[in-house]
Structure 1
Amino acid sequence: MGIDNDVRAGADWTAAALTAAGYRADFSPSSLWEVERFLSTEAPDGRPRPRGLLGKDLDTRVAMVGGYVGAQPWPPEARSGSQGRRPPTRRRQWH
């Protein structure tokens, strides 16, 4: 087990938790809009709702959402980078 497996397991757990809460978290690029909707709903004005999904364990839950976002595949136009350069880091695609 390496960090890649840990990150993937965390992203999968987060996707399942978001899905159970009514958000579409299927690792598609458009699911990032669902993450935005989740954050806007659960932390209006940047403050977590006390009894909401971010009301406890905020640091852990925000890190898990960040892991989900980071697990998104690069879109084709970003793979070659702007002006023919590669992105600053290469990311593994998970499907």
Structure 2
Amino acid sequence: MTPEEAGDYLESLPRVKRKGTESRPAWYVDDRLVARLSDASTLVVRVPLDRREALLRKHPDSFGVPPRMEAHHKVEAYLDRAEAPAVRRAIDLAWEMQAR
């Protein structure tokens, strides 16, 4: 999945708006972060903590949680090797959590 494909998917969701900068775009629903691109191949996605472990177990090559994010509702999606349906699922979880 490319960053552009991820952005297109994010922007297809209701009420999602792109903010941030050209090099570090971020997508929000009602001013609540859904995802942001941290570099050319890493998308940080907000996900509920109770769903994060299952996502990591099912797709260990697609996602990771660096130590600095362990206490947060976040997961890194490695776009250069991630399965596109898995990334879309993580984005959906983030959108559901933030669109409440």
Specify which structure has the higher proportion of helix.
1
Higher strand share: 2
Q: In terms of Rg, which structure is larger?
A: 1
Q: How high is the TM-score relative to the length of structure 2?
A: 0.29
Normalization by structure 1: what TM-score?
Answer: 0.30
